[in-house]
């Protein structure tokens, strides 16, 4: 790409926002030239705004340390300065402001849950349902938005099992799955769960997470139906979501049944051959392999496997027969990279490659 595209980050000072800043600092296609957050950060340089609450290894990228943080109300300024924005806003403000940016003609690529169940907003994992982006012109027409639109990514826990399930669904038809997640503490943001609650412990409840884990896959596997995306209601998912004392990396134990039971070799071959995003798009954040299968009996593990493909690859293992459904396996992905900022950036890259930005 000859000239970099100017982008903004809303909620740039939060946990996910910091990941955006870190991943975008040297991005080959995008240049961050606008950052916005709440009034407690606005007016400060980015370096001052995150002093004492920078959560990542290494320092604030030098190229962005001195950029001034705006408020999210400065929409006209954002429109002058950037082609589109990534949103890592807290959920309580995301719905209103993401719509205000879209109305103002600024496309929004969001991490927040606010619009995930909005029927004309595509919720995209590029390896799976990139074709849902075809709803963008319909969304714009229905809402009278000229240049703006909203695209979201799903909940972070889904990433550890959706791509492996989708690869199999394409060939064998997914019927039902029972999924137990073991989710890292970073998924709750900062400060998140207190250390006294999570050390030496497992918390078998994450507010709203089981509903997201059961419903969001149905939209991702759904199809555009007129002016909305209809869920695939044929698939049934039952989820148990647990918070565990792991810093990064969500793990999921999955039992699954298909329309046609594949052989073990068919499953392994399908994962091995799964191409993911079409190579014609050549996206900088796309991992070389979307899915890696580990043969060792004790993998995947968060500490050993979360950084596969720079945190963008889903690692699976422990494929075996299930006494109740057809098969069982374990999936793992990096929740703050693939599950948050990395997944959002990949959506932004896909939108550029497909000509929407
Ligand atoms: P966070 O650490 O609480 O950060 C929230 C960001 O929103 C901060 O930049 C904050 O600015 C800004 N903000 C909060 N209230 C605001 C207001 N009234 N006006 C303007 N800006 C405001 O949250 P997070 O963990 O990064 O999560 C961000 C979003 O991503 C959430 O919607 C979350 O559900 C979603 N998400 C999180 C994860 C994860 O792994 N953590 C994964 C997937 C999706 P200040 O710093 O100035 O307060």
User: Would you state the pLDDT for residue 66?
Assistant: 98
Residues 6+ apart with CB under 8 A from 296: 317
User: Would you state the pLDDT for residue 215?
Assistant: 97
Q: What angle do CA 40, 43, 49 make, to 5 degrees?
A: 55
Tokens of 134: 């075809």
Nearest-atom index, ligand 1, CA of 114: 32
CA of 1 to the centre of ligand 1 (A): 30
Catalytic: which of 34, 82, 132, 156?
156
The pLDDT profile of the chain, 357 residues, written as one tens digit per residue, is: 669 999 999 999 999 999 999 999 999 999 999 999 999 999 999 999 999 999 999 999 999 999 999 999 999 999 999 999 999 999 899 999 999 999 999 999 999 999 999 999 999 999 999 999 999 999 999 999 999 999 999 999 999 999 999 999 999 999 999 999 999 999 998 889 999 999 999 999 999 999 999 999 999 999 999 999 999 999 999 999 999 999 999 999 999 999 999 999 999 999 999 988 988 899 999 999 999 999 999 999 999 999 999 999 999 999 999 999 999 999 999 999 999 999 999 999 999 999 999
Nearest-atom index, ligand 1, CA of 15: 26
For domain 5-155+340-353, give the fold.
Answer: Rossmann fold (3.40.50)
The conformation of residue 131, written as its DSSP 8-state character, comes to: G
Alpha-carbon span 321 to 338, nearest angstrom:
28
Around ligand 1, the residues with Cβ closer than 6 Å are 11-17, 37-38, 40-41, 72, 88-91, 93-94, 111-113, 156, 186-187, 189-190, 335-336, 339-340
User: Would you state the pLDDT for residue 184?
Assistant: 98
326 has catalytic annotation: no
CA 39 to the chain's CA centroid: 27
- From atom 32 of ligand 1, which residue's Cα is the shortest distance away? 112
Determine the longest span between alpha carbons in the chain, in angstroms: 60
CA of 127 to the centre of ligand 1 (A): 26
Task: Break the chain into its structural domains and give their ranges.
Answer: 5-155+340-353, 156-334
> Which DSSP string corresponds to 1-36?
--SPEEEEEETTTSHHHHHHHHHHTT-SSEEEEEEE
User: Would you state the pLDDT for residue 2?
Assistant: 64
CA of 311 to the centre of ligand 1 (A): 21
CA of 309 to the centre of ligand 1 (A): 26
34 has catalytic annotation: no
Tell me which CATH code domain 156-334 carries.
3.30.360.10
- From atom 14 of ligand 1, which residue's Cα is the shortest distance away? 90
- From atom 48 of ligand 1, which residue's Cα is the shortest distance away? 38
Choosing from 19, 23, 89, 110 the residue with most ligand 1 atoms within 8 A of its CB, the one to mutate for a pocket test is: 89
């Amino acid at each position: 790409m000859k000239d970099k595209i100017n982008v903004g980050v809303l909620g740039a000072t939060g946990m996910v926002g910091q990941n955006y800043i870190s991943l975008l600092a040297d991005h080959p296609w995008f240049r961050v030239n606008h950052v916005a957050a709440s009034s407690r950060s606005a007016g400060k340089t980015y370096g001052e705004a995150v002093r004492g609450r920078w959560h990542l290894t290494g320092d604030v990228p030098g190229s962005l340390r001195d950029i001034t943080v705006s408020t999210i109300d400065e929409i006209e300024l954002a429109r002058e300065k950037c082609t589109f924005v990534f949103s890592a806003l807290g959920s309580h403000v995301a719905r209103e402001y993401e719509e205000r940016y879209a109305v103002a003609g600024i496309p929004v690529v969001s991490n927040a849950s606010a619009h995930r169940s909005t029927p004309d907003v595509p919720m995209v994992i590029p390896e799976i349902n990139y074709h849902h982006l075809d709803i963008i012109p319909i969304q714009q027409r229905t809402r009278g938005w000229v240049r703006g639109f909203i695209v979201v990514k799903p909940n972070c826990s889904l990433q550890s099992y959706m791509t492996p399930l989708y690869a199999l669904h394409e060939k064998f038809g997914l019927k039902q799955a029972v999924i137990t997640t073991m989710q890292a503490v970073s998924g709750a943001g900062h400060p998140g769960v207190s250390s006294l609650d999570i050390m030496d412990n497992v918390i078998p409840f994450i507010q709203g997470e089981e509903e997201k884990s059961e419903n969001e896959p149905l939209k991702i596997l759904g199809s555009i139906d007129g002016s909305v995306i209809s869920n695939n209601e044929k698939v049934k998912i039952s989820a148990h979501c647990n918070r565990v004392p792991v810093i990064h990396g969500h793990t999921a134990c999955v039992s699954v049944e298909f329309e046609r039971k594949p052989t073990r070799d068919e499953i392994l071959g399908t994962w091995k051959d799964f191409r993911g995003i079409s190579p014609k798009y050549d996206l900088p954040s796309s991992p070389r392999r979307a899915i890696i299968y580990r043969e060792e009996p004790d993998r995947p593990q968060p500490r050993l496997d979360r950084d596969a493909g720079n945190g963008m690859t889903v690692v699976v293992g422990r494929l075996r027969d299930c006494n109740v459904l057809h098969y069982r396996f374990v999936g793992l992905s990096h929740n703050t990279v693939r599950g948050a900022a990395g997944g959002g950036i990949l959506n932004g890259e896909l939108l550029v490659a497909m000509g929407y930005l």
